[in-house]
Amino acid sequence: MRRQTSSKQGGNVSTYLIRRILYSGISLAGLIILVFFLARLTGNPADVYLPADTPQDVRQEFSQSHGFNDPALVQFERYVVDLAHLDLGESLRQQRPALSIVMEAFPTTLMLSALAMTLVMIVSIAAGSLAARRPNGVFDRVVSLIALTSASVPNFWLAIVSVLIFSVGLRWLPTSGTGGVSHWVLPLLVLTVRPCGIIAQVVRSSMIDALSSAYVKTARAKGVRKSAIIFVHALRNAMLPVMTVAGDQAAGMINGVVIVEIIFGFPGIGKLMMDSIANREFVIVQAAVIVVALAIFLMNFLIDLTYVMLDPRIRYS
């Protein structure tokens, strides 16, 4: 994909859309193949579903009836045919379609990610913009120090430490569950700290460049209010590189959500995937990967289109 900023070099939007969908489809196909064969490295599901004292002939019959004894390529071919008919399989343990199980857990993950990313954008844009007003000033140095520190903190370490401090030590917040607002505080804190640090640095750098541009100097000469200059004139032009980094962070937040849901006992898609891997529920793992991948592809697609809204001069070719 090549972005052209000249209005005379307008690309064909429909061609871009087709190419974007094609690339996403190829990536999704590769991911499906990878997950399908990696999942089967965990062993035969019969060892999990059946009691340890189950006779060998019963195990053999169970594996044969569910196709676990077939070669991996035969199983994959059967899976692709079912997938073409929008059939993602059925959970042997719950006797329900895998897609319905995944979609029950997905809203929790989606809400947690959306709330976290909203807080990240609000805090990082405000902090980075205000820090750019006076580069190397006291506030700028404080923001830069906090941003650099938070950008270096791993999610899993922060989650464990926050539980020890706020739940075990101070007993201010619950350790797990989704019973009330207090249950969401620590997961949101863990998910927002690192992206906030990364995006705040990008906002600060972009805003410093924007505030030193000619159109900002013109606005100042006309007597435009400082708040309007920062959050209207400069911020809009500074948002292009910010959106690029924010899109990467939003996609990477899915990985963080998996860890957070496991540590804090959130009944989301991340915890569902880990439980399904442990129980060798292949169909649920595959369905979860497809749903998450589609959500990420859609999010990246919308972010790309947001560039045009921020700067109408941009065209895709």
In tens, the pLDDT along 290-304 reads 888 888 888 777 777
Mean pLDDT of 201-209: 88
Residue 7 pLDDT more than 60? Answer: no
pLDDT attached to residue 3: 46
- Does the global pTM surpass 0.85? no
CA 186 to chain centroid, in Å, comes to: 18
How many CA atoms within 13 Å lie on the side-chain side of 171? 0
The residue among 40 and 118 whose pLDDT is bigger is 118
Q: What is the mean pLDDT of the chain?
A: 80
Q: Encode pLDDT of 36-65 as tens digits.
A: 888 777 667 777 677 777 788 888 887 887
Lowest-confidence region among 7-16, 59-68, 182-191, 307-316: 7-16
